[in-house]
C-alpha cells in the first residue's frame, strides 16, 4: 500500500515500525508522559536518548541511552545533545516533555517561583530546540514535538504561571514552524493526565469528583494516550502537519 508523500520516491511502508531508524531526544523522560513517549518510540524502532535531571529507574528495550540534563542550563543541554549525537550519529527528532507545575494564585506567587516555571517550561524548551536545530537541519523529515497543556489554551485559577509558560510554548512552536521549515514543529496540549505531577497536586477523590467531570469523556488521560499523539507528529504519517496545537484533553477545551 502506497500513500502519497512529499518525497514520492519513498512510499510509506505500513508494515515497518513507524519510527524505524529515527534518532530522537526525549526530555522529561524519567517519568510521566516523557517516560511513556520514550518507551513507545523505542518500541517503534527509534533510537531514543532519554534526558532528565532525575535518574532513570531503567531504560526501555532497544537502542536507548540515558542523559543527565538540566534544561534550564545551556551548558547541560549542549553536553546532552552532543552525547546523543555522538552515540547515534545525529538527531532527527525531539520531544520536549519536561515540565513543572505551580498552583499559587498570582497575587501570592513569589518571583522566584514564577522564574522557575518559565525557566523550565518555556526557556528550557527553547534551549533544547535551539541546541538541536543544527543537527535537525541535516536530516530529512526532522520533527520537534513540544508539550504544552490545555492550560495554555484555556487557563484555570491557580495556574497563572503554568498557563503563561504553556501558552508561550504554543507561540514559540508556531514561530519555530515558520522559521525552521522544513523541520516540522508541533505542540501537544494535554489535559489532566495520570502522572506523578498531577497525582502530587490532587487527591484521588478530587481527581474523580472534581477534575474528571470537567472533561467530556469524564476521566483524566493516561500517559500512553499523549505518547500516541507524539508518535503521530513524529512520524511520516504527519508529513504535511506543522505549527499546530493539538488538544489531547478528553474534550475540555474544544478550541
Residue 132 confidence (pLDDT):
98
Cβ 245 vs Cβ 170: under 8 Å: yes
Considering the candidates 162, 202, 215, 232, report the single residue annotated as catalytic.
162
Confidence tier at 203 by pLDDT (50, 70, 90): confident
pLDDT digits (tens, 9 = 90+) for 46-103: 999 999 999 999 999 999 999 999 999 999 999 999 999 999 999 999 999 999 999 9
Signed CA dihedral, 14, 92, 116, 166: sign only: negative
Q: What is the pLDDT of residue 254?
A: 80
pLDDT at 13: 65
Instruction: For residue range 65-78, list pLDDT tens digits in order.
Output: 999 999 999 999 99
What's 55's DSSP letter?
A: P
Q: Give catalytic status of residue 202 as yes or no.
A: no
Q: What percent of the chain has pLDDT over 90?
A: 89
* pLDDT at residue 31 tops 50: yes
CA dist 238 and 218 (Å) reads 29
pLDDT, mean over the chain:
94
Domain 23-248 classified CATH 3.40.50.720?
Answer: yes
The pTM for the full model equals 0.93
- According to DSSP, residue 100 is labeled -
- Contact 214/52 with Cβ under 8 angstroms? no
* Beta-ladder partners of 188: 147, 246
Amino acid at each position: 500500500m502506497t500513500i502519497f508523500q512529499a518525497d514520492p520516491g519513498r512510499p510509506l511502508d505500513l508494515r515497518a515500525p513507524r519510527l524505524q531508524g529515527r534518532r530522537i531526544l526525549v526530555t522529561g523522560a524519567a517519568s510521566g508522559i516523557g517516560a511513556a513517549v520514550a518507551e513507545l518510540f523505542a518500541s517503534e524502532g527509534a533510537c531514543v536518548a532519554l534526558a532528565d535531571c532525575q535518574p532513570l529507574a531503567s531504560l526501555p528495550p532497544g537502542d536507548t541511552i540515558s542523559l543527565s540534563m538540566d534544561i534550564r542550563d545551556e551548558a547541560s543541554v549542549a553536553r546532552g545533545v552532543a552525547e546523543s549525537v555522538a552515540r547515534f550519529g545525529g538527531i532527527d527528532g525531539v520531544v520536549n516533555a519536561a515540565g513543572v507545575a505551580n498552583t499559587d494564585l498570582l497575587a501570592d506567587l513569589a518571583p522566584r517561583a514564577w522564574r522557575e516555571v518559565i525557566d523550565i517550561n518555556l526557556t528550557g524548551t527553547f534551549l533544547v530546540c535551539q541546541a538541536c536545530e543544527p543537527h535537525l537541519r541535516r536530516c530529512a523529515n526532522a520533527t520537534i514535538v513540544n508539550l504544552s497543556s490545555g492550560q495554555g489554551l484555556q487557563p484555570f485559577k491557580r495556574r497563572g504561571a503554568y498557563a503563561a509558560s504553556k501558552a508561550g510554548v504554543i507561540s514559540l512552536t508556531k514561530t519555530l514552524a515558520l522559521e525552521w521549515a522544513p523541520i516540522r514543529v508541533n505542540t501537544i496540549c494535554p489535559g489532566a493526565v495520570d502522572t506523578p505531577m498531577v497525582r502530587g497536586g490532587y487527591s484521588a477523590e478530587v481527581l474523580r469528583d472534581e477534575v474528571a467531570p470537567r472533561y467530556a469523556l469524564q476521566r483524566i488521560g493516561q500517559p500512553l494516550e499523549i505518547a500516541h499523539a507524539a508518535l503521530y507528529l513524529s512520524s511520516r504519517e504527519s508529513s504535511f502537519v506543522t505549527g499546530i496545537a493539538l488538544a489531547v484533553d478528553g474534550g475540555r477545551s474544544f478550541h
